[in-house]
Amino acid sequence: MSNPAGPSRPAPASVLAAQATHASAPVHPAFERLLPQFHRVRAQTLALVEGLSDEDCALQSMPDASPAKWHLAHVTWFFEVFALERFEPGFRAFHPSFRMLFNSYYNGVGDRHLRAERGLVSRPGLSLVRDYRADVEARIDALLRSPALDAADATVLAEVVELGINHEQQHQELLLTDIKHLFSRNPLLPALREGWPPVPVVAAPAGWLACEGGLVTTGSAAAGFAFDNERPAHRTFLEPFELAMRPVNGGEVIAFIEDGGYRRPDLWLSAGWDLVQARGWQAPCYWQQRGGGDVQPARWHTFTLRGLVEVSPDAPAAHLSQYEADAIARWLGARLPTEFEWEHVAQRVPVEGNLLESGLMHPAEPLAAARPGLPGQMFGDVWEWTQSAYLPYPGYRTAPGAIGEYNGKFMSQQMVLRGGSCATPRSHLRATYRNFFPPDARWQFSGVRLARDGR
């Protein structure tokens, strides 16, 4: 590997050449919608790391989390490997080692660096990664304006670029949750940014929405973008059920703790109880008690991207594993919804709420009243654990080649979460969207919405 560590390099010639074409070359018709979206999402990623130091961007706090610098490079790698390498005439890699270094899990692409050691990659430095981003972005821009693309290539390239845009949005959320975990390990408990708007204080109404169930359609039949794991649309039979009108909140989790919820094996799935013992869980991730004395009891606080704050009893509780979500639901006399129950209700709910664009970076009380007769906060605030294993839908097929590794190969030992969080970009979400994590994962903005059998 040549030394990629040197001082910030001037913009590569390809960047300057491509930037010069920005204003003049017409956009290929297949990309008229995608090109502005591409640049907007790329800029949003850079905006998220504004104010972070080079050291902030380089560190890795645990094997599951990646350094911000790695995220910045890896989403760029995706466009370089899956779009430029295949479609750019005379393609040359920005750096020969990056193909291996920033490959996350695509065995079809070749070798990759160990996930758990991403934080040891001090070189390339952040400035070279920024150059890498600028270079690939300019070359994608030039490619999407290329008159040489035939219709068949343009169709495939459009699909790859749209997948790349959505991939980058997924990593925007991961970048934030990984930075949050990193900062939580710093005794100074730093905030990502100062001066954020205050979290609103309005209690959400409780209650249940009764649903008849029956034979319903779930999964995506939309002509627009959806990940392969959301397709195909298919029939699902639902028994009558009820879905809670709001997520479980901080006050309910505090009551669960005070009732000995983390010490009662009768509330837990076996694997969850084993984890409670092994890891010493006594509260959600990032929760700690502060203050208190002879008279005043200690108060529950939680680390947030805004620093350490007191747990709001009315805001959705976050950073729960699926095991905790399941135990809390059982303690509250309910259960987790299936992903299909959740989706059946969400099909009637507009995608709005406390999402990345709110700037709150923390679950909040509802930002707007729920539509009459519909549950609130279905989208945003916290991803909602379901009791559904992450499995292929009937008729599911992966795409050929390495890009087919995107989703399908993870359909084992993971559980589905729905609805997005305060770190999810709004344009990234749909009612059919399926997030998935192992049931012990706690560093995402993951929470609970109750369900129960119809009565």
Minimum CB separation of residue 104 from Fe ion in Å reads: 5
- Neighbour-count burial of 8, counting CB atoms closer than 10 A to its CB (0-12 exposed, 13-18 middle, 19+ buried): exposed
CB-wise, 102 or 281, nearer to Fe ion? 102
What are φ and ψ of residue 161, in 5° steps? -65, -40
Per rule CB under 5 A, count of chain residues that contact Fe ion: 1
Q: How far apart are the C-alpha atoms of 359 and 77, rounded to whole Å?
A: 28
Minimum CB separation of residue 267 from Fe ion in Å reads: 35
**Which residue carries 């790698």 as its tokens?**
77
CB-wise, 166 or 236, nearer to Fe ion? 166
Determine the distance from the C-alpha atom of residue 66 to the mean position of all C-alpha atoms in its chain, rounded to a whole number.
Answer: 13
**b vs e for 238-252, b when ≥16 Cβ sit within 10 Å of the residue's Cβ?**
beebbbbbbbbbbbb
Minimum CB separation of residue 272 from Fe ion in Å reads: 28
Q: Which stretch binds Fe ion (CB under 5 A): 90-98, 100-108, 271-279, 401-409?
A: 100-108
Q: What angle do CA 183, 188, 191 make, to 5 degrees?
A: 50
Q: Which stretch binds Fe ion (CB under 5 A): 98-106, 113-121, 193-201, 384-392?
A: 98-106
DSSP 289-335: EE---SSSPPEEEEEETTEEEEPPSSSBP-S--HHHHHHHHHHTT-B
Helix (H, G, I), strand (E, B) or coil at 123: coil
Q: Which stretch binds Fe ion (CB under 5 A): 101-109, 303-311, 409-417, 422-430?
A: 101-109
CB-wise, 86 or 193, nearer to Fe ion? 86
Q: Which stretch binds Fe ion (CB under 5 A): 99-107, 279-287, 308-316, 348-356?
A: 99-107
Q: Which stretch binds Fe ion (CB under 5 A): 26-34, 96-104, 122-130, 415-423?
A: 96-104
Q: How far apart are the C-alpha atoms of 50 and 295, rounded to whole Å?
A: 43
CA distances from 16 to 10, 21, 22, 38, 252 (A): 10, 9, 10, 18, 56
CB-wise, 76 or 358, nearer to Fe ion? 76
Minimum CB separation of residue 253 from Fe ion in Å reads: 31
CB-wise, 287 or 406, nearer to Fe ion? 406
Minimum CB separation of residue 113 from Fe ion in Å reads: 13
Q: How far apart are the C-alpha atoms of 339 and 364, rounded to whole Å?
A: 23
- 177 contributes a contact to Fe ion by CB under 5 A: no
Which of 104, 220, 236, 377 lies at the binding interface for Fe ion (CB under 5 A)?
Answer: 104
Q: Which stretch binds Fe ion (CB under 5 A): 102-110, 223-231, 331-339, 343-351?
A: 102-110
Minimum CB separation of residue 227 from Fe ion in Å reads: 12
CB-wise, 104 or 302, nearer to Fe ion? 104
Minimum CB separation of residue 290 from Fe ion in Å reads: 36
Tell me which residues in 230-249 interact with Fe ion (CB under 5 A). Answer: none
CB-wise, 104 or 435, nearer to Fe ion? 104
- Per-residue binding string, Fe ion, 254-273, x by CB under 5 A, is --------------------
| Nearest-CB residue for Fe ion | 104
Minimum CB separation of residue 163 from Fe ion in Å reads: 11
Q: What angle do CA 233, 236, 240 make, to 5 degrees?
A: 140
CB-wise, 164 or 272, nearer to Fe ion? 164
DSSP 33-100: THHHHHHHHHHHHHHHTTT--HHHHH--SSTTS--HHHHHHHHHHHHIIIIIHHHSTT---SSTTHHH
Q: How far apart are the first and last CA of the chain?
A: 66
Q: How far apart are the C-alpha atoms of 87 and 149, rounded to whole Å?
A: 8
Tell me which residues in 129-148 interact with Fe ion (CB under 5 A). Answer: none
Residues in touch with Fe ion (CB under 5 A) = 104
